[in-house]
Structure formats: structure tokens, C-alpha cells
Chain A
Amino acid sequence: MASLSVRSVSKRYGPVRALTDVSLEIRPGRVHAIVGENGAGKSTLVGVLAGFVTPDSGTVELDGRALPLGQPVAIREAGVDMVHQHFMLVPAFTVEENLALVRLGGLGGRLDAPELAREAVETAARLGWSIDPKAPTGGLPVGSQQRVEILKALAGDKRVVIFDEPSAVLAPDEVEDLLKVLRRLADEGKAVVLIAHKLSEVLAVADEVTVLRHGRVALSTERAQTDAEALATAMVGDSPGQRHAPPASGATTLPDRADRPSLTVSGLCAKGDRGNTALDGLDFTVRAGEVLGVGGVDGNGQVELAEVLAGVRPFTGRADWTPGRPRVGYIPQDRQSDGLALSMSVFDNALIAGLDDPSLTRGPFLRLGALRAWAQGLVDRFQVKTPNLAQPVGGLSGGNQQKVVVARTLATRPDLLVAVNPTRGLDLKASAFVHDQIAAAAEAGAAVVLVSTDMDELAALAHRTVYLSRGRFVDRLVGADA
């Protein structure tokens, strides 16, 4: 018998059809993956299932009883809960207190956090997790915070648990562990819904796969009857386009060309924003034309390393470019917070890269006409979909926002290019485009440092890869199979 039946659900936002006539069955004891590109309707569908979005039409039934759509609390009480992509945790609370939050009675109720959290702590033990209930949540590693989030979602007798892109924040070995947990929950008889970007994870764990495209179900199939290519085809509608071919013979190094310009780093140390030791003695060289991959679990010094190389974080030790001084291009990790001023126009966001170009400025003044032509050229060359240069960049899609960042960074023809997770949150086409641009920049002679938590991305682009762990380089990720 079907556990959760989605029947003909449709939802429009103004002129945009987010979901059109979507139907699917989610069965107990199985992991049901929902995949699709950005904008395919995954988030809207999850929102409907969790009660944050009220559909225009259609119903959702749990064991034959209609779910109270649009009412998150009632839906949770009915037995459907969700593990959010962005953690819904109070960092200053202990694990126990966070777990107790979902079980609080009314305002007058007594707060006995250990008692309220007892069941969740037992669940943790059953899943084989060692979590200190008294530890402050904010100080835990990301993987452990996610476990707390999962324990919250499991509170009570949950029938359906939805995971919204749970691997986005995890390192490869943590992902492996997470997939085991999904499997285990399904084996216990729960229906598990996995919203995912990465096909490799879907294929590793799912029993059934539903592909959304433009808000419709493009494919619904058993895992055994499909493969990565079929899923990718269903996602994009045609062949996904050649993903960027790995550099000749994969992860071998370039022939050593010592005469090429290069960045030599030795004994590099830097502090993080909280005064912690973020980088603890790094030594490496990256030459023009080479892509150096830096992998590792988020929060082990990647962002700090990128900022040091980009010249925006103080450091000790040496980082020397020979010969001369390099032009540095920096694609920061988070385009919405560090990459773009969302309320400013496409023109203004590109302009930062044109300030040092003597043909675009005259002393302290901007040559506005020349700058407009230059910015329009970037928009054309990088195929940024925007009605005009005056469009606020926040109104563009994620892929086009990232294109603005990449376009302006590469426009300066950097000698040293530093990119952090440059395709995070982008769909296949936009990712392939960004990858092509980075590879082309390297071919044109840039030394590239690519910091990424995505092993596929590193495998596709990097000539060699080092891994960061607690601010030091290690040869490979323990437990990583990439």
C-alpha cells in the first residue's frame, strides 16, 4: 500500500508554473529520490510535502487520508517531517536543548530538556552515533549538526522523512555515512524522500527515482531500470552536453615547466574570523597553465586559503609569484554574499573588474561609454541572460548571477585565478559552462587554484589535488573513494 500519494499537484507563481500536474507514490521501506535541475520544481514540491507551500490544486494523501496542505505543524503531527538543507538549529543551545525544542508543550509547559530529548538520544544510540547531548550545537562539525537535525526530524513516530539536498554541506566520507542512514531508516519501514543534485548519490542509495523537469514529472522509475545517462537525459531534455573532459590523462601533473610563472607558497599560516588557526603551515607551488585542486571537508581552511591567495586575508609565511606581481582573479564561495551586490545593476556588478583598465577610466573618472560597451561585451561573450545592463543582478537566475561573477573575474585575464566551489547550486548546463571557462583560463596561461568540496568537479578540472584537513595538507581524504 502506498504510504504517501501525491495526486495532480500544481502550483504557479505569477506567470511561472513551478509544478504542473505532478503525481507520485512514495512507499514505506524505500528511498525515493527526486532529482532535477535548478528551477525544475524540487523545492516547491518539497515545500508542498512539508506544508510550507500551498498548492493551487491537487491532493496529498498519507495512507489514504488527505494531508492538511499548507499547515506545516499539522503535517508534522501527521507523521511527515523534513531535514532542511540549511540547518534549523539554535547554535547557542546544547544538542539536548535543540532536540527538546520540537517536543515542547505549550508556553506553560515545564522545560526538562534531558527528558524531552531522551527518545532522540536513544535513537542516536540505535543509529550508532556518539553525540554528546550537553555539547553546544554551534561548536559541532557540520556532519554532526546534520545528525542533530535528522534526530529532530525523527522525533515521534514519523512515517515519511524528507531530506532536502542533505549532502550539499558534507564531505565525501560523511556523505557515505549519510547514505547508510537513509538506507537504515528505509529498512526500519519509513518512507524516505531524498532531494538531490548529484546523480552518483541517487544511484547509490535510491530504490525509486522521479525526475522533475520544468515542473512536470519527466521520468519515474525503479533504480534498477535506469542509469546516470538516462537520468541526466530526463533532467535536461536532451543530451546534457559533454561535461568538461578531464585534462589529458586525468590526474597526472603537467610536464614540469620550471620556466613558467608560478606561485610558490611556503610556511603559510593564517587565522580564521574567530582568531582560530585556520591555516597551519602550507607549502605548495602552482604554475601557469595548471589547475591545482584543493579538496576537503568544508571548514578546514579552504575559504581562508582562497582569501589569502586573493589578497584579502592577512597571513604569515611566504606566498611569492615569480616573476613580478600577478593579476589575481577571485571567484568567492558565496555569490550572493561575497560575489555580488544583489540590488545593484549588472553593469555596476561588472564594473569592479574594469576599474584598473586604463582604457576604461581616465584618472579618477570612469569612461562611462567605454565601460558600457565593455560590460555589454562581457554579457554577450558569457551569454548572461539579462534584459539589459541596468537590471538589478538579484533578479537574475542563480546560473546567470554566477556567470556575471565569472565573466567579470576572467575579464581581467588573471595570472592567478582562485575559485571556491564555483558551481555550487548551479544546474548541469551552467556548471559545464563555468567549468569550460575555468579550463579555458588555465589553457590561456592562468595558474588556477580550485577549491571545491565536489570530488567530481576536482576530478574533471584539476591536474592534481591536495586535501585540507585542519589547516594542513593531507594526501587524500580518509574514507574518500573519489
Chain B
Amino acid sequence: MKRALVTVAGLLLALVLTLAVFGVDVRQGLSLIAEGAFGDKFGVARTLVRATPLVLCGLGMAIAWRAGMYNIGGEGQYVLGGLAGAWVAKALVGPAPGLANPAVLIAAALGGALFAGLAGWLQVRRGVQVVISTILLNFTALQALSWAVRGPLQEPKGQLPLTERLPDTVMFQRFDPQTDLHAGVFVAVAAVVLTALLLWATKAGYLLRLVGQNPRVARANRVDVGRAQIGAMLVSGGLCGLAGGVDYLGLIGQVGDGFSQNWGFLAIPVALLGGLDPLGVLASGLYFGALMAGGEGLARFNQLGPTLVYVIQAVAVLGLVALNARSRPKPVVDDD
């Protein structure tokens, strides 16, 4: 609890300092950001729409990192999720439009899961570190996307490197025709609840945490460490892929070269600042979603706008590292 308060205070401080360093009038800057993020229904919608992939990918990172699998491939898994969704959509929209929406979500989650699971398998069975393989697989995913939208998944006219636009009936429902806010936000909320349950109230979640903290203890207790690690990667990639599927169904209904906006990378600090805890990830995802939405408002008046989120994330992660270094658990009894 105390830690959460320190994090919140630190994040606000980081925001104020960043504005000041970049020569923005702090009061004016804060009010522009607040207005852009919450000022009206458009702001709120922007914040929630941006928070959705951040939260989903952030949850994915939290699960993998808890298991000691340093997944850096959220970006590739998000992209592959969108790609798998688009592929299933192309097959189903004609024959079974009623099934297309859930099928796209399932395919997206599966695509991301298998992609991350491959990296997990490589580490467990072949000794290839996930940190390295997932970074490299990001490029593989982007190349696969680039090829697919110029080849088998390209829109029928064959002019643009994009998939065919989904019909509105398949897309997520919009709450208000004037904003982008879509039903996909509920997927994110449900994912928060389910991952929290997984981590804290199931055997699998406990073993995943134990393997992350000390795999030798797990092994000495006859736990299949590799299985837990691959399992964590499957869930992690599944959540990132799901984020890709949700954005595909919620925003423009098309997949193209610019499909991902670095969500998979932005999610890493989101997960860290959220303490690798699902509720914390929800809070930090909302914070950065709001910053992104608000930063766009700021961008109309100041060049800082678009990069604001990156600067704050960097400052905040550095602050977190300092905080962790200071708060080692104190011994109860001094042992000689």
C-alpha cells in the first residue's frame, strides 16, 4: 500500500519535472494533459482506448516476468495476434459472420501464445535466452505482417498494404458513434481479474511465481520447471496477442504495416511500475493511457507532446530501480 502511494507520488513528480525541464509552463501543461485525458467524453474515450492494449500487454509481461521469463517480445506477439485474427476473419466473415468476432479473439490469443511459447520452448529445451529470442522474434513478426498484407491477406483491390476492412457487424460495439470507445475495454478488465486469480489463487500461478523466484526450490519439490516456464510464456503471449486482436476488432478493423504503436514495448514499464501485479498493471496502464491521450492534447501547443510518455516512462523506471535498491527486506534476526 505504502509502495503504491510512493509510486503514484513519484509518477506525478516525474510528470511535473519533465514538463519543467522541457520548458513547459507546468500548470498550463498539466491542465492541457488533464483536459486531453479526461476533459470530455472524447478525452475519456481516448484514455480508455489507449489503456486497453497497455493493460493487456502489461498483464502479459507481468505473468512472464513473474516466472523469471523476461519476455521482451510483446510487440511481436501483439502483431502476430492481429495477423492471426485477420487471417481467421478473412476465412469466416463470408461463411459465418456471427462467429467471426469471438473467433478472431481466440485466434489472436492463440497466435500470440504460440509465438511466445516458441521462445519459451527454445529457452527450456535449447538454452536460448528468452530475452534474446523474443527481441529477434519481434522483427520476424513485423516481417511476417509486412509480407502478409502485401500477399495473401491484402485487400481485394491490391492497392494498399492493408487487409480488407472488417464489416461493422463483426467489429466490437461502439458506445457512442462520436468516439472510439469500444467493448474491447471489457476484455481488458476481465483479463485483469483472471490474471489476478491465476497468480494468487491457483496452484499453477503459485508454481509460476515459485519458479520465477527460485527454480531450484521448485525442482527439489518435483515441480516441472520447464513446463511452468513455457506455460507462463504461453499465457503471456496469449495476452499480448489478445491485445492485438482487441485493437483489430475495436479500432479500424484493418491490419497493416503501422498496426502496432509500440504497445508491446510500452507495456514493459507499465508492468514494472505496476509491480508485476494485475491491479497495479491496471492502474499504471490507465495512467500511461491518460498520458498518451493528454500528450496528444499537449502536442497541439508544444513539441513535447508525442514524446512525453517515453520520457516519463524512462524517468519513472529509473526511479523505481532506485526505490527497489533502497527497500531491501530487513532481517528480523541478525544472523552471524
Question: Contact residues of A with B, CB < 8 Å?
Answer: 13, 16, 18, 38-44, 307, 310-312, 328, 330, 332, 337-344, 348-349, 351-353, 355, 361, 364-366, 368, 385-387, 391-392, 394-398, 400
Contact = CB atoms under 8 A, between A and B. Distances in A.
B332 A352 contact: no
A366 B201 contact: yes
A387 B332 CA distance: 8
Given A38-B336, A361-B203, A343 B213 contact: yes
A340, A341, A396, most chain B CB atoms within 10 A = A341
A395 B220 contact: no
B336 A341 contact: no
Contacts of A332: 220
A159 B81 CA distance: 71
A364 B204 contact: yes
A338 B216 contact: yes
Interface string B189-230: 000000000001111101101100110111111110000000
B333 A397 contact: yes
A393 B198 CA distance: 23
Interface string B172-191: 00000000000000000000
Contacts of B332: 385-387, 391, 395-397, 400
Contacts of A352: 206, 210, 217-218, 221, 223
A364 B203 contact: yes
Given A341-B214, A395-B332, 17 more contacts: A38-B335, A39-B333, A40-B336, A42-B336, A44-B336, A307-B220, A332-B220, A344-B213, A348-B210, A351-B206, A353-B221, A364-B202, A366-B203, A366-B206, A397-B331, A397-B332, A397-B334
B199 to A, nearest CB: 11
Contacts of A396: 331-333
Contact of A365 (B201, B207, B218, B335): B201
Contacts of A353: 221
A478 to B, nearest CB: 32
B232 to A, nearest CB: 15
Interface of B: 200-204, 206-207, 209-210, 213-214, 216-223, 329-336
A13 to B, nearest CB: 6
Nearest to B222: A311
A330 B220 contact: yes
Most buried by A among B221, B329, B334: B221
A18 B209 contact: no
Contact of B210 (A44, A337, A341, A391): A341
A85 B207 CA distance: 34
Contacts of A310: 220, 222
A77 B226 CA distance: 50
Given A312-B222, A351-B206, A337 B216 contact: yes
A342 B204 CA distance: 20
B201 A397 contact: no
A293 B27 CA distance: 74
A400 B213 contact: no
Contact of A395 (B202, B209, B218, B330): B330
- Which residue of B200, B209, B217 has the most chain A CB atoms within 10 A of its CB atom? B217
Nearest to A40: B336
Given A348-B206, A348-B210, A39 B222 contact: no
A276 B111 CA distance: 42
Interface centre among A307, A337, A343, A352 (most CB of B within 10 A): A352
26 contacts: A13-B334, A18-B334, A18-B336, A38-B335, A39-B334, A42-B336, A310-B222, A311-B222, A312-B220, A312-B222, A337-B214, A338-B216, A341-B210, A348-B206, A348-B210, A352-B210, A352-B217, A366-B202, A392-B329, A394-B331, A396-B331, A397-B332, A397-B334, A398-B335, A400-B332, A400-B333
Nearest to B333: A397
A396 B335 CA distance: 8
Nearest to B332: A395
B129 to A, nearest CB: 20
Nearest to B331: A395
Contacts of A330: 220-221
A282 B200 CA distance: 43
B329 A344 contact: no
Contacts of A368: 200-201
Contacts of A349: 217
A404 to B, nearest CB: 11
B203 A355 contact: yes
Nearest to A339: B217
A340 B214 contact: yes
A344 B335 contact: no
Contacts of B333: 39, 385, 396-397, 400
Nearest to B212: A341
A41 B206 contact: no
A85 B335 CA distance: 16
A332 B216 CA distance: 10
B206 A355 contact: yes
B277 to A, nearest CB: 14
A391 B210 CA distance: 16
- Listed from nearest, the 3 A-B pairs whose CB atoms lie closest are A341-B214, A341-B213, A397-B333
Contact of A39 (B209, B210, B216, B336): B336
Contacts of B200: 368
Nearest to B204: A364
A342 B201 contact: no
A392 B210 CA distance: 13
Nearest to B198: A364
Contacts of B202: 364-366
Contacts of B216: 337-338
